[in-house]
Chain A
């Protein structure tokens, strides 16, 4: 029964969601709404798991004084400050911590925002360095990729137009070539990837609904 009941729940839920997609009427859509409400609750529990994981992993690092344990102290302190101020709406007169002018939003805009932007901005430097070192035309495929990257990188910014605007034939201008690469070869390749992923999802879902795939239940 420990395996049969979860298998039954999975199969029933899967079948209802498939039927609801094609028949959006009562009572199927009502049952689907109920299941979706449960999904929100389960998703909320994932936050608890995430918090526990964060505290356990970093708490363990601090306890053992492993390499870089100081960063773990900062993580836990930052988490406690943000969560505390957000949950109890500390330092704010507004009814919700998400209103403008509250301490929570002040921290979001003045601490989290610049830190997150800075970390993401570092990517530009690493992309430039990696492109210079690794982007080499070692074979035909790499050369093709390199040529496409050349046209797209310059053709997608105005400087590409500026460099080739003197060419009378518009289809030879960088922006036209870049748009063509994006709209045809890129689109075709992306579609192939999407179809492959979709087929994979369909087959995995069917295996789950039909009870062929049982690895998610754990155990043997």
Chain B
């Protein structure tokens, strides 16, 4: 049996092992690759950068632990950029796991000296409204009244007792929406209701697999920016000058992509060589 025939019947466990090696090796032998942020990533960063100090921003988390390696670095990056800009942050989620992951992101941000020294206070500089089921209907309801959609925050405190929420009655009082989503309900619902219906500018971050679906919103400027997958997260970390897990994991993804592409090329060469031999 020749090399290409052997390739055609390659044991998939060999593929698994090679992928594992490709993913794990860069974690133990780290190397830096020069970053080239995409225009879509730059769009999100610039949109937040242009917001006036003291503006209120909604950051919504529609993801779960499975997609957190891609989305969580974006969430951390967004929190850092907002806090550095002196923006007021309203966290929430249309997925049940979202607000808990947002809390974890907050804890990670507050471990850094820079943010510890800012003395940010819950209720004054940021709040977490928690999860609400209903998807697009929740956003629609927030357009008319946020306290109706979320009578209390994540831990049961009425919104009226939170100073940050004093001047925030509905989506018109919000300067910008950042949505980090891994599926449905997610960015399309925010675009449909928050942007199109209530004219709130917004940008989004999503998993690599869902990024292609959101490109039409970029072209129409319904989204001012888009972070797609781990590359988007790493771009954002590079732009905000806060290297984190996005940049740390990107070499692993790079090498894994390269290995998969090599496998695809080898598989196709083997396919054509064995096909030609068969024809003869």
Contacts and interface: CB of A to CB of B under 8 A. Distances in A.
A binds B: yes
A127 to B, nearest CB: 7
Chain B interface SS verdict (over half): helix
Interface residues of B, number: 72
Interface string B242-280: 000000001101111111110111111001000000000
Contact of A125 (B15, B251, B261): B15
Contacts of B263: 128, 131-132
Interface in B91-149: 97, 99-100, 103-104, 107, 130, 132-134, 137-138, 140-141, 143-145, 148-149
A162 interface: yes
B15 A120 contact: no
A81 to B, nearest CB: 17
A44 interface: yes
A147 B99 CA distance: 40
Interface in B54-88: 64-69
A154 interface: yes
Interface of B: 10, 12, 15-16, 19-20, 23, 33-36, 38-39, 64-69, 97, 99-100, 103-104, 107, 130, 132-134, 137-138, 140-141, 143-145, 148-149, 154-156, 197, 208, 211-213, 215-216, 218-219, 228-229, 231, 234, 250-251, 253-261, 263-268, 271
Contacts of A128: 15-16, 19, 256, 259-260, 263
A175 B36 contact: yes
A158 B34 contact: yes
Interface in A125-149: 125, 127-129, 131-133, 135-137, 146, 149
B258 A154 contact: yes
Contacts of B133: 40, 43-44, 46-47
A182 B232 CA distance: 14
Contact of A98 (B16, B148, B154, B271): B154
Nearest to A34: B148
A97 to B, nearest CB: 9
Contacts of A146: 264, 268
- Pick from B34, B36, B133, B259 the residue with the most CB of A within 10 Å: B36
Interface of A: 21, 24, 29, 32-33, 36-37, 39-40, 43-44, 46-47, 94-96, 98-100, 105, 108-109, 112-114, 116-117, 119-120, 124-125, 127-129, 131-133, 135-137, 146, 149-150, 153-154, 156-162, 165, 175, 179, 182-183, 186-187, 190-191, 194
Given A29-B144, A124-B23, A191-B216, A129 B65 contact: no
- Pick from B23, B69, B137 the residue with the most CB of A within 10 Å: B137
B145 A100 contact: no
Given A154-B257, A162-B33, A129 B104 contact: no
B65 A157 contact: no
Contacts of B34: 158, 161-162, 165
Nearest to B148: A33
Contacts of A95: 155-156
Contacts of B66: 116-117, 119-120
Contact of A40 (B38, B132, B213): B132
Given A33-B145, A117-B69, A127-B260, A108 B100 contact: yes
A135 B155 contact: no
A117 B215 contact: no
A133 B36 contact: no
Given A40-B132, A131-B264, A109 B104 contact: yes
Nearest to B259: A128
B65 A117 contact: yes
A40 B134 contact: yes
